[in-house]
Structure 1
Amino acid sequence: MKYYFILLIPIQLALGQSRYPQDYFINPLDITTVLSGTFGELRNNHFHSGLDIKTQQVEGMKVYAVADGYVSRIKIAHYGYGKALYITHPNGYVSVYAHLQKLEPKLETYLKNIQYERGTYEIELFPQADELIVSQGDIIAFSGNTGSSGGPHLHFEIRDNLERPINPLLFGIDVKDTKPPTIQKFYAYPKDANSFINGKNERTELRLIPRGNANFEVEPLTAYGYIGFGVTTYDQQDLAANKNGVSNITTTVNGIKNFEIDFKRFSFDETSHLNRLVDYEFYKTNRSFVKKLFVEPNNPLSMYKDVIDNGYLKVEDSINNIYKIVVSDFHGNTSTVSVKVKGDKPEEKLQKIIARPYHHFIYANDATTLEDQHVSVYIPDNTFYDDVNLDFRVSGDTLHLHQDVIPLQKNIGINYDISQYQDGDKNKLFVGKITGYRKYINYIPTIKKGDLLTAYTKTLGQFILKADEKAPSVTPVNFQNGKWLSNYRYLKVKISDDLSGIGSYRATVNDKFILMEYDYKTGVLTHDFNDNVVTDTRNELKIIVTDNVGNNTTFEATFFRK
C-alpha cells in the first residue's frame, strides 16, 4: 500500500504571492474545459465557490483526480452538492468534485458498504489518510446531475487548508476567453438624505453610451453630496453562451483609485453577505444583480481592496469630477464606463424620498420581539444590516412580515400559539412561506413544543399556519405487482407530497434494508439491483414514505427475480 505524508504548507503565505502552483493540478475531465459557471459569480444568497464544467449535456464522463492525495471526505445528499468527493493533497489544498453520478467502483463499494451498514442513503464520511489513496490521473468518479444541479455538469473546486475556496483558474486550469465583459446597466445611488442625483434623492438609472471596444460613457449628470454607483455586468467565454460572473471591478475618481472588488477567493463564512454587496431590493423585484461599487456599514466581505471613502464619490457644488469603472474577466479582458459628474447643489424645495411610515422601528443592534394575537416574531440583535421600519401584521393565521426586499444576516424565529386548535389537529400543523404569483406554500422546518410551533427563516415576506392531512403518494414507475424483474437493472418508484413535502422514506425487501437513491427533481426513488442485496426469487417490497408533518404511506408489492 502506498502512503503519503501530508504536509500542510502555510497557504496563507502563498495567497499573498502573485502565483499559485501552475503545474500541480491537471484538469478533472479529459475534454475541452467549457464553463457554465465561473468562480465567484453571484448566485441566490451565495457566491459560486468553483467552476461548473460542461459535460456535453450528458452524464457518466470520467472524473480524474487532479493530483496525488487521499479521499478525505465523501458526502451524499439529496440536495446541494448531491454526490460529492473531496481529496486532500500533499501541498495542503483540497479538490472538490460535486453533482457526481457515482463514484469509481472501489470507492462506490466502500461508500455503499457503509450506507448499508448504517441503513441510510444520505451520509457524510471522513476516511483516514491511509484508507483511500489516489494518484494524479486516477478515475475517481463519473459526472452527473445529482443534488441541486440544474443540468449535467461537474462542479469543481480547489480550497485551501482553511476550507476557503479559491478560483481554480489561478492554478493553471484554463478556458478560452477573448471576449470583454458585457455591461448591461449602470446606476447611481445617493448615500443619505442629503445626497442628490439629477435633483433626486433616489436610485437613478444612467443611460450608457457605447464608444466602441467595450468602452462606454454615461450621459452627463449633476449630483451633490456623497453618491455611489452600481453596475449589472456579466462575462462570456469563447466556447459558451452562458452569462457568467466577472473577476474584478476597479473604480477611480479623477484618476485616483478609490475602490476594488476582486472575486478570486472568499470564505464560506462570508458568502451570504453577497446580499450586502448587491442591491437586494432590486434583485428581489427584478431578478437582476446590481453590484454596488461602494461599501455600506456592517459589510464584512474580504473581497474589497484599496477602498477610499467607502467607494463613494464626494460631489461639491460647482465642482466637476470624472468617475471611471473598469470591469475585468479572469483573462484580463476589460470593459469600461466613464462618468462626468457636475456638482450642483439642489434647491431646498426639492422633494426627498419619504419612507412609508410603518409602526415597527427595529434598531439593528438590539434584539426585538414583535407580537400580535397568537403570533410572535423574535429578531436577534444584528439580524439587519441597518435600522429598519417594518410592516408587521397578523390576519387570521397569515403573518405579514414586510416584503422580502431587506436582507437578513441571521434567522428570525416565527412562533404560533396553537392552543385554540383541537388536539387531534395540532400534529398536522406547520409554518409555511407564501411565495410567487400563485401563492405557493413552501414548508419551513417547524418545531412543536407543547402548544407552540416555531419556525426559523432568513427572509421576510408572508407566512401562514397550515394543516397537512394528506399522506404522500407512492407509484411504481417501471414494474407492477407480481412482475418478474430478472432482466431489470433498476427498481423505480415515484413519490410525492402536495403540501408539506417529503420528510423521509425507507425501503426494505423481505424485511432487509435496501438503498434507494432519491432524485427530488423528478421525485423518483431508484434501487440498483447490482448492489446484490436482493438475492431471493420471491421478494416482498415495502416502502414507507413520511411527509414533514408525519403523515405516512406504506407501499407494498411483490416481484420476482432469478
Structure 2
Amino acid sequence: MKSSRVVTALFAIVPFFAHGQFSKPLEKFPADDERYLYPIYPGQPGSLAGTMGELRSTHFHSGIDIRTNNMIGLPVRASKSGYISRISMTASGYGNVIYITHRDGNTTLYAHLDEFLGPLAKHVRQEQYAKKTSEIDLYFTEDQFKVKQGDTIALSGNSGGSTGPHLHFDIRDPENFALDPLKVAGFPELIDKFPPAAEKIALKTMDINSRINDRFGRFEFYAQRVGNNYVITSPILATGNIGVELVAKDKLASQSQFFGGVNYIEMRVDSQVVFNQAIERLNVAETRTIYTLMDFKTMRNKGTRFYKLYIDDGNDLKFYGASPGTGKISVNPAKESAVQIKMKDSDGNASTLSFRLKPSALTKDVISLEPYISTELTYDVSENTMLVIAKPCKETNNLAQIFTKGTMTEIEPAYFNANRAVYLLDLRKGIPDSVGACRKMIAPKISISIPSGTEYKYYSNTMDIEFPMNAIYDTLYLNTDYVKDASGQELFTIGTRTVPLNKSISVSLKPGREYVADKKLGVYRTAGKGYTYLGGEWINGRIAFNTRELGDFTILKDIEAPSIRVVSVNKTSARFKIKDNLSGISNFEANIDGKWLLMMYDSKSATIWSERLDNTVPLKGMLELVVTDNAGNKSTYRQKIL
C-alpha cells in the first residue's frame, strides 16, 4: 500500500489529458488510421493477467487485464483519439470506468480506475452531489470531453469487482461487441512466445447406450507434457456417442502466475475436423451464454472450467462457423481412433493434445467398479438419463423396482460387479416416483420435465413457479421438495444449483407455518453455510420473489442492524468499515449539519469514505452516518467535527 500511495501521489500532478511523448511521432498516422496505443506505459514491455474470451464463473472475459505491478495510480493513456462518451462508477463490476468513442466507430473501455482527472473529475463529482449518489452512469456528447491519442485520462486502480490492481481494457465495435485487443491492436509491448498448456480432458457419455471405460457418466484424464505438446498415453475404452471437454490455459509469460483463455481450438478424429472454435467477437449483452460453452455442473461442484468441444443443446454462440457438425464423436466400433486437439492463442502459438479411443462393446460385468460405501441408494441426472447406484443384491438377482404412477416394473442393472450395481433410466420414457433396490428406496422427487424454448407454469401445494420463454437451455427435469426442521425453519428445494438458468424465474412460496408480513422477513438462497438475500413480497400469506439460480431457499428474519466501525474522522475525510451479518448492506447516507456528504464504497474491503465537493473546504460540523440493510434495519453514527 505504501508503494501504491506513492505512485498515486506522483501521478496526481499529471495534467488532465496531458499529451504523451513517444518514440514515433503521432502525426505520421492520420486520425482515422491511428493504430491502437498500449494504455499503460506505451513503448515499454507490458504484461497481462487475463485475455479476451477467458472463461470466468459468470461470463466471458471481454478484454485484456493489463498488469500494473500491484500498484494503484499509474497514468492511463487514451488508446486512440476521440471523445469520452460515457463514464460509470459502481461498487461492483467495472468500478470506475471510462468509455472513449473513436472516429472509426469503435469504443475503448478502461475499467477499475482509481480516479478520473481534471474537468471530467470535477463534472462527475458535481453530478454525484446534484443527484446525491455515489454510483453514477453518465453519457456525453462529442463536444464535451475530447481526447487525443496518448492523453492521460485517469489513474489506474482496483475499484469495483477487481481482485487486485490492474487495468481492464476493451475494444468494442459499433454494435457493442467486444473484439480481441491482441488481434485488433497487436500491441508490440506484449510479446507472447508460449503456446497454450493443456491440463486434462473429460470424456462424457452423450446417451444411455454410450460408455467410457465400460461406464456411463463423465470421466477426467490428466495429460502428460511432451515438449510443447500433450498426450494421454493409454487408450481410452469408449462406446457410442462421446463428448470431449478440455481444461487449457494460455501462459502469458515464462515466470508469470497468470494465464489467459484459449480462443482457438480444433479437434480432429482420424485427421478429420469434427470441431472448431474461434472466439474473436463477444456479445457483452449476453454474458450468461458462457454456461452453454463450459461444463457448468463441474464448475459449480469443483471450480474447474472445462471447454466443451461439442455444441450442446441451447448453445447459439457464433464461435463454431468452421465446425462441420456438433463435435460429438461417434466411436468407430471397428478400429481404434486417434483424436488430436489443437490449441492456438491470439499470437498464433500452438500446441496439441493427443489421445486414442479404443472401441469396446457394451458389457454388464465391469470388474473395475470401485466399492460402493453408502448403505443407501444414490442418483444423478445427466442429459435425459437417470443413473441410480446401489449395493449388489443376490437375493433379488440385482433387479431394481421402478415405481411410476402406481405401476411397478423391474429392470436389470446396466452394469455391475461384486461391489456395486448401476441402473440407467431413460427419463423421456417416464419419470419414476421412486426406485427400490436391495430393500432400499429412493424418491428423486422430480416433479415434471420442462422443455426448453417454451413458457411454463408449475403449481404445487408448496410453491408456484413461472418459467419465461428461453429461461432454460435444455430440458429441465425439475426436482422440488419441502422440509421443515425441528426449529420450524422451512426449506424449499427448486431444482439443483448445478443446472444453469438463462433468465430469472418467478416463484411464489406457500409457507407451511404462519408469518406476520414484515419487511425484515425475506427469502434467502442457501449457499453452503451462508445465505444470499433475494427479498420478496408478501401477498395473501405467500412470498413472491425472482431468482436466476436454482437450489434451496428459505425464509429468514433479519433483526440485527448493520455495524459501523470508525477508521478515521477529521477535517479532511471520514472513513468507516460497515458490515451486515445477514441480508447485506442496502444503502448508506452521510450528512454534515444536514448537508449531504458523498461517501464512496469498496465492497471488497467493506469500507466507505468521504469525498468533498470542494477539497479546499474542510469537513466541519455534526457528522451523521446512517447505514441500512436490505431488511430495513438501521444503524446511526454521530460525531462532531471541530
1:531 corresponds to which of 585, 602, 614: 614
What SS does the corresponding residue of 1:113 show, helix, strand or coil? helix
Deviations 1:355-412 (A, max 9, x none): 6843312222344444554433333343222223232111132112233111211212
Instruction: Give the counterpart letter for 2:307 in structure 1.
Output: K
1:145 corresponds to which of 152, 158, 161: 158
What SS does the corresponding residue of 2:251 show, helix, strand or coil? coil
Deviations 1:323-346 (A, max 9, x none): 211011222222212222233332
Rounded to whole Å, the distance in 1 between the matches of 2:295 and 2:270 is: 25
Deviation (angstroms), 1:195: 2.0
Deviations 1:518-542 (A, max 9, x none): 1111222111347348557x41111
Deviations 1:490-549 (A, max 9, x none): 21122221111110111111211111101111222111347348557x411112211112
Matched, 1:467 2:557: yes
Instruction: Give the counterpart letter for 1:220 in structure 2.
Output: P
Whether the 8 Å CA contact 1:218–1:337 is kept in 2: the answer is no
Deviation (angstroms), 1:104: 1.1
Rounded to whole Å, the distance in 2 between the matches of 1:133 and 1:87 is: 9
Matched, 1:496 2:509: no
Whether the 8 Å CA contact 1:419–1:451 is kept in 2: the answer is no
1:547 corresponds to which of 620, 624, 629: 629
Deviation (angstroms), 1:191: 1.8
Rounded to whole Å, the distance in 2 between the matches of 1:257 and 1:399 is: 47
Rounded to whole Å, the distance in 1 between the matches of 2:159 and 2:296 is: 29
Whether the 8 Å CA contact 2:506–2:546 is kept in 1: the answer is yes
TM-score computed with the length of structure 1 as normaliser: 0.89
1:405 corresponds to which of 479, 494, 498: 498
Matched, 1:277 2:293: yes
Matched, 1:243 2:259: yes
Name the counterpart of 1:392. 480
Whether the 8 Å CA contact 1:208–1:219 is kept in 2: the answer is no
Rounded to whole Å, the distance in 2 between the matches of 1:453 and 1:496 is: 26
Instruction: Give the counterpart letter for 2:578 in structure 1.
Output: I
Whether the 8 Å CA contact 2:278–2:320 is kept in 1: the answer is yes
Deviations 1:260-291 (A, max 9, x none): 11122211244312111111111111110111
Name the counterpart of 1:318. 334
Matched, 1:377 2:470: no
Matched, 1:358 2:445: yes
Name the counterpart of 2:223. 208
Alignment of structure 1 residues 71-220 onto 2, 5 Å = 71-170=84-183, 171-174=185-188, 175-220=190-235
Rounded to whole Å, the distance in 2 between the matches of 1:112 and 1:533 is: 14
Task: Assess, with a 3 A threshold, how the Cα gap between structure 1 residues 542 and 451 changes in structure 2: closer, same or farther.
Answer: farther
Alignment of structure 1 residues 332-347 onto 2, 5 Å = 332-347=348-363
44-53 or 208-217: bigger deviation: 208-217
Unaligned 5+ segments in structure 1 are: 1-20, 480-484
Task: Assess, with a 3 A threshold, how the Cα gap between structure 1 residues 346 and 421 changes in structure 2: closer, same or farther.
Answer: closer
Whether the 8 Å CA contact 2:98–2:111 is kept in 1: the answer is yes
Name the counterpart of 2:13. none
Whether the 8 Å CA contact 2:298–2:305 is kept in 1: the answer is yes
- Measured on the aligned residues, the alpha-carbon RMSD in Å equals 2.3
2:316 corresponds to which of 300, 304, 326: 300
Name the counterpart of 1:3. none
365-374 or 123-132: bigger deviation: 365-374
Deviations 1:19-70 (A, max 9, x none): xx99521011115321111111000121001111111111111111111111
Number of residue pairs aligned between Structure 1 and Structure 2: 529
The structure, 1 or 2, with the larger RCO (C-alpha pairs under 8 Å, 6+ apart) is 1
TM-score computed with the length of structure 2 as normaliser: 0.78
Over the matched positions of the two proteins, sequence identity in percent amounts to 30
Rounded to whole Å, the distance in 1 between the matches of 2:582 and 2:222 is: 46
Deviation (angstroms), 1:122: 0.8
Task: Assess, with a 3 A threshold, how the Cα gap between structure 1 residues 554 and 374 changes in structure 2: closer, same or farther.
Answer: farther
Rounded to whole Å, the distance in 1 between the matches of 2:269 and 2:522 is: 53
Instruction: Give the counterpart letter for 1:284 in structure 2.
Output: R
Whether the 8 Å CA contact 1:73–1:87 is kept in 2: the answer is yes
1:443 corresponds to which of 511, 516, 533: 533
Matched, 1:252 2:345: no
Name the counterpart of 1:29. 40
Rounded to whole Å, the distance in 1 between the matches of 2:217 and 2:179 is: 37
Rounded to whole Å, the distance in 2 between the matches of 1:93 and 1:511 is: 45
372-381 or 215-224: bigger deviation: 372-381
Rounded to whole Å, the distance in 2 between the matches of 1:449 and 1:524 is: 36
Deviations 1:293-337 (A, max 9, x none): 001122111112322231122223213322211011222222212
Task: Assess, with a 3 A threshold, how the Cα gap between structure 1 residues 129 and 22 changes in structure 2: closer, same or farther.
Answer: closer
Task: Assess, with a 3 A threshold, how the Cα gap between structure 1 residues 402 and 492 changes in structure 2: closer, same or farther.
Answer: same
Rounded to whole Å, the distance in 2 between the matches of 1:313 and 1:186 is: 14
Rounded to whole Å, the distance in 2 between the matches of 1:53 and 1:182 is: 21
Deviation (angstroms), 1:449: 4.9
Task: Assess, with a 3 A threshold, how the Cα gap between structure 1 residues 341 and 420 changes in structure 2: closer, same or farther.
Answer: closer
Whether the 8 Å CA contact 1:364–1:381 is kept in 2: the answer is no
Whether the 8 Å CA contact 2:515–2:541 is kept in 1: the answer is no
Rounded to whole Å, the distance in 2 between the matches of 1:302 and 1:422 is: 49
Matched, 1:53 2:66: yes
Deviations 1:69-114 (A, max 9, x none): 1110111111111111100000111000111111012211010111
Unaligned 5+ segments in structure 2 are: 1-31, 366-413, 416-421, 426-442, 485-489
Instruction: Give the counterpart letter for 1:267 in structure 2.
Output: N
Name the counterpart of 1:428. 520
Name the counterpart of 2:567. 477
Whether the 8 Å CA contact 2:34–2:80 is kept in 1: the answer is no
Instruction: Give the counterpart letter for 1:550 in structure 2.
Output: G
Rounded to whole Å, the distance in 1 between the matches of 2:625 and 2:314 is: 50
What SS does the corresponding residue of 1:557 show, helix, strand or coil? strand
Instruction: Give the counterpart letter for 2:65 in structure 1.
Output: D
Rounded to whole Å, the distance in 2 between the matches of 1:316 and 1:523 is: 57
Rounded to whole Å, the distance in 1 between the matches of 2:58 and 2:515 is: 39
Rounded to whole Å, the distance in 1 between the matches of 2:450 and 2:509 is: 24
Deviation (angstroms), 1:413: 2.1
Whether the 8 Å CA contact 2:310–2:327 is kept in 1: the answer is yes
Rounded to whole Å, the distance in 2 between the matches of 1:450 and 1:516 is: 39
Instruction: Give the counterpart letter for 1:434 in structure 2.
Output: T
State which structure, 1 or 2, has the greater radius of gyration over its C-alpha atoms.
2
Task: Assess, with a 3 A threshold, how the Cα gap between structure 1 residues 531 and 522 changes in structure 2: closer, same or farther.
Answer: farther
283-292 or 231-240: bigger deviation: 231-240
